[in-house]
Amino acid sequence: MNHTLRNTLASVALAATLGFVTSVNAAEPSDQHAAAAPAANKAIETKEALRDLWVEHVFWVRNVVVETLAGNKAAATAAEQEVVANAKQIAGAIEPFYGKAASDKLFGLLAGHYGAVKQYLDATVAGSAAKQDAAWKNIGANAEEIAVFLSGANPNLPIDTLRGLLLGHGGHHVQQIKQLHDKQYAAEAQTWAAMRQHMYVIADALAGAIAKQFPDKFK
């Protein structure tokens, strides 16, 4: 998968989802502003909590990449444990709305996401283009699974938007791995900034859709 395609995927996903988030979080009519204030506060708190969790995801995965490339197995293992703990927290965040079975399902899917990214990292270290291609296919298949799951749980999450968003996210991971491996540190700094922004988009989309689906929980 080349850099141009990865950048295109990320850009399309970001643009599509920004428009989606705007529609999900549309303002209440003016005569409902006072009544909507508490709900708005709870929605903001949910969004900020999800933003923190998703940014931690890319932070710890990046640490795994950096320490793996440096040959620091102990640090890479510690970072990987944080990736798993973070995935459990992200999955746990949906439990109050969808139940434990859904939370467990999402955790499994997030574990699959990380597994495919780690597969790409290992293939890059090994210098195997064929294994990189196989890992990218797994990243894409996992993105499809997560999109189907989230869209099925919440009608306010269009599957096509989710698919593009998650593929863009996977593309960011792949791009970052290649740049760090090739010591393209200035380029990776730009990718890192884009990844953080992309996490805000994911978090805002999920928070907005949940608030719209469960208005009674945000009163």
- Token pair 């440096």 in the structure block, residue: 70
Q: How many domains does the chain have?
A: 1
In a domain, 168, yes or no: yes
Instruction: Confirm whether 138 is domain-assigned.
Output: yes
Cβ neighbours of residue 86 closer than 8 Å, sequence gap 6 or more: 53, 56, 57, 60
| 13 belongs to a structural domain | yes
Residue 38 CA to residue 136 CA, distance in Å, equals 43
Residue 25 in any domain: the answer is no
Nearest-angstrom CA–CA distance, 191 and 7 = 9
Q: What is the pLDDT of residue 17?
A: 43
> What pLDDT, on a 0 to 100 scale, did the predictor assign at position 7?
43
Contacting residues for 29 by C-beta, under 8 A, at least 6 apart: none
Tell me the residue range of the domain where 192 lies: 3-17+38-218
What pLDDT does 40 receive?
73
User: Is residue 28 domain-resident?
Assistant: no
Contact 65, 180 (CB under 8 A): yes
Determine the pLDDT at residue 21: 45
pLDDT means per 10 residues, the chain with 219 residues, are 44 43 44 55 92 98 98 98 98 97 98 98 98 98 98 97 97 98 98 98 96 92
pLDDT at position 56, please? 98
pLDDT value of position 19:
47
Residue 30 lies in a domain: no
Q: Is residue 8 part of a domain?
A: yes
Q: Is residue 191 part of a domain?
A: yes
Query: Residue 25: its pLDDT value, please?
Result: 45
Residue (of 216, 122, 199, 178) closest to 3 by Cα position? 178
Q: 3-class SS at 156?
A: coil
Phi, psi of 43 (to 5 degrees): -65, -40
| pLDDT attached to residue 39 | 62
CB environment 53-72: b (16+ within 10 A), e (fewer): bbbbbbbbbbbbbbbbbeee
Query: What pLDDT does 13 receive?
Result: 43
